[in-house]
Amino acid sequence: MILQALYELAKAEGLMEDPDFERKPVAWLVRVDKDGRQLGIQGTHEVQTEPVPGRKKPPKPVPKRFVVPRESSRTSGDRALFLFDKAEYVFGIDPVGERPKDKLALRFNLFREGVKKCLDATRDDGVKAVYEFLEQVASGRQAVALPKDCAPNDLFAFTYAPDQDRLVTQRQAVRKYWQSLRSSGAGDAAGKEDAVRCLVSGVLCTPVDKHPPVKRVPGGTTSGVALVSFNSAAFESYGWGGNENAPISRDAAEACSTALNRLLDFAPQTPDGRPLPRLHFVISSDTVVCYWAPKAKSGDLLACLGSLLEADPTEVGEVYKSLWRGKAPAIKDPAAFYALTLSGAQGRAVVRDWFESTVAEVADHLAQHFADLAIVRNTPKPKDHDLPPHIPLRALLRSLAPQGKDDAIPAPLAADLVDAALRGTPYPLSLLQRAIERWRAEIGGTDWADLERRDGRAALIKAVLNRQNRRKQVGSEPTGHYKEVRPDMDATNTSPGYVLGRLMAVLERTQQEALGNPNASVVDRFFSGASATPKAVFVRLLKNARHHVRKAKDDPEGGGMVFLLDRLIDELADRFDPKHNGFPSHLDLEQQGLFVLGYHQMRKWLWMTREERAAWEQANPGAPRAYLWAAAKQATVTQ
């Protein structure tokens, strides 16, 4: 099904309208006149304007793409490409000077032989000029100086002076010659003994021995990896060898690889050079998610899906911004939607996940995904711009890696997160466990990036818990497991973990009122223990809190705040009968997650502005009296 969906995409976007040619980056154009004289070597490099997610350095110039003959992949053997190739073949020169001279001479001769065969068949003036140039280089009558910044894998192609910028391979006679070579190589499979039914297109064919390589797969080789390959007897059956186990025609194999290369491209184009939307996002150093919907009525959702997940408001249309608010737009498109998660390993593409749905269902699932992730954020607003409207996918994934390192993002967890977002299924508990572990490990960080990662972990914990809790409900009635967590602090949530997390945040703020910012706060020293075994920790913390309250009350400027904090401590602690140490002896994984959320949301609540607090109290009129600070202060002023 994966190959058939890719084949369908190639047909829908017209990627195979000219199956004998393809677009490739050609770094250098060698211009020759009718007598074979070199008129110069021109670079085609352009700065890529499309931003690449996760890349901090400015983009480097990349070669421009040209339509060139479609060639099969080249292995370790010597084989020249048709009228374009690397410097080793085109000139017999190694840019780094490491190749033996006899090897360079062999490759140069192979390239010349291919040009000579084309000239004999076509008598084309452009090919004749290229051949004259090559003969003069071989005899020493012309010298070639490679550009200083030429790389070993850079491709060179030829232009004929009267043709301006048109490649020699695009001259009509040359195109017909190459098409005849390709058709003679493919042949007609009908009636042949080795003809089989192509698994993709359903036509009779002679199966390809190997599939064209797929490039830009994270973790793969620069030369490309194979999506379909059989290199061990363990992968074969019924006496078939190699790719006979998956018989696919050359046309279908090329269409599938072309479609997948288009999906993996940061700046994809149609065969005639028109830009196409980028339909992938990288989720770790070795994993990428590609998505497409060949028959979608509108490609707007697909075009902005990556930007939606990365919370980039500049790249998302107004109609889809409602997804960030948890409301799906009125999309009733029943067109098929596909998502393919790939990693590169050992010379091949590893399929981590394959997902099929419809465009309408994916829109609904994304709205629920953002609703589940919605949470108050402790990250301060940057000076030069606003916070993103949602926590970007990359920030969520970095929150699961030590110090937010991109190369340490766990690929399986990243794939599971994206899969649950698209499918609308419960997030795996492994996300919850990882987020709690990273929260404890980095609890003391105070940098902006540390706070952003905490926001990301809190959002993931909330999303996992809420979806897991919904799965345990019977119809619309809760089972009494625990109350669903809201985006902001919920004073009526009585889950033990959530209440204890709020209490930890109040104790932290009380200590700050009494001692300022100590080197090791109560959270730095006791968070891990309090969130796992509260019975062994909280009695001691409450005793210390009484000392902090008395010390803060002696400060004329801090007495009012500590009075409010003291009331909160009593309101929260009294739920556990602290005099008899009625705190839970331990918290399970879900309650530990609720502890983190209680702390995170209460910490935000304690530092709200006057306007934010007034709005919160207006939205929560049923909150206990200890939380109605604005009302309490107003009553004090009135008296």
Span of 71-80, 568-577, 616-625 with lowest mean pLDDT? 71-80
Q: What is the pLDDT of residues 427-438, one digit of tens each?
A: 999 999 999 999
**pLDDT interval class at 39 (50, 70, 90):** very high
Q: Measure Cα distances from 12 to 255, 305, 321, 324 in Å.
A: 11, 19, 28, 30
Phi-psi label, residue 5: left if phi above 0, alpha if psi -120 to 50, beta otherwise: alpha
Residue 438: strand, helix, or coil: helix
Percent over 70 (pLDDT), the chain? 92
Q: Measure Cα distances from 451 to 157, 436, 441 in Å.
A: 51, 15, 13
Question: DSSP code of 533?
Answer: -
Residue 263: name the closest of 217, 224, 301 by CA.
Answer: 217
Specify the residue for token string 């007598």.
Answer: 35
The pLDDT value recorded for residue 639 is 39
d(CA 221, CA 75): 13
HEC string of 463-530?
Answer: HHHHHHHHHCCECCECCCCCCCCCCCCCCCCCCHHHHHHHHHHHHHHHHHHHHCCCCCCHHHHHHHHH
Span of 201-205, 334-338, 371-375, 523-527 with lowest mean pLDDT? 201-205
Task: Tell me the mean pLDDT in the region 424-449.
Answer: 92
**pLDDT interval class at 56 (50, 70, 90):** low
Task: Tell me the mean pLDDT in the region 250-267.
Answer: 93
Above 90 in pLDDT, residue 297?
A: no
d(CA 249, CA 189): 10
Q: Which helix (H) or strand (E) holds 284?
A: strand 280-284
The pLDDT value recorded for residue 556 is 63
Question: DSSP code of 428?
Answer: P
d(CA 410, CA 309): 18
Tell me the two tokens of residue 416: 């599971």
d(CA 561, CA 125): 89
Task: Tell me the mean pLDDT in the region 624-639.
Answer: 64
The pLDDT value recorded for residue 57 is 63
Q: Each residue of 211-250: b (16+ CB within 10 Å) or e? A: bbbbbbbbbbeeebbbbbbbeeeeeeeeeeeebeebbbbb
Phi-psi label, residue 424: left if phi above 0, alpha if psi -120 to 50, beta otherwise: left
The pLDDT value recorded for residue 144 is 94
The pLDDT value recorded for residue 473 is 60
Tell me the two tokens of residue 441: 């490990």
Q: Measure Cα distances from 539 to 452, 501, 535, 570, 576 in Å.
A: 31, 15, 7, 13, 11
Above 70 in pLDDT, residue 100?
A: yes
Residue 145 or 243, more confident: 145
Above 60 in pLDDT, residue 381?
A: yes
Question: DSSP code of 232?
Answer: S
Above 70 in pLDDT, residue 633?
A: no
The pLDDT value recorded for residue 193 is 60
Q: What is the pLDDT of residues 140-187, one digit of tens each?
A: 999 999 999 999 999 999 999 999 779 999 999 999 999 999 988 654
> Residue 548, CB half-sphere, CA atoms under 13 Å: how many?
26
The pLDDT value recorded for residue 547 is 84
Q: What is the pLDDT of residues 461-511, one digit of tens each?
A: 999 999 998 887 655 554 557 889 999 999 999 999 999 999 999 999 999
The pLDDT value recorded for residue 489 is 95
Tell me the two tokens of residue 588: 């399970």
Q: What is the pLDDT of residues 577-624, one digit of tens each?
A: 888 888 999 999 999 999 999 999 999 999 998 888 889 999 998 888
Residue 328: strand, helix, or coil: coil
Identity of the residue numbered 632: A
CA angle 129, 130, 134 (to 5 degrees): 120
Residue 555: name the closest of 609, 608, 510, 508 by CA.
Answer: 510
**pLDDT interval class at 637 (50, 70, 90):** very low
Tell me the two tokens of residue 515: 């001692």
Tell me the two tokens of residue 264: 């993996």
Residue 577 or 118, more confident: 118
Above 90 in pLDDT, residue 264?
A: yes
d(CA 599, CA 455): 12
**pLDDT interval class at 54 (50, 70, 90):** very low
Above 70 in pLDDT, residue 191?
A: no
- Range from 68-77, 92-101, 208-217 that averages highest in pLDDT: 92-101
Residues in CB range of 438: below 8 A, 6 or more apart: 399, 400, 401, 402, 453, 457
What is the overall mean pLDDT for the chain? 88
**pLDDT interval class at 635 (50, 70, 90):** very low
Q: What is the pLDDT of residues 527-544, one digit of tens each?
A: 999 999 999 999 999 998
d(CA 393, CA 373): 11
The pLDDT value recorded for residue 106 is 96
Decide if 374 contacts 461 (C-beta within 8 A).
no
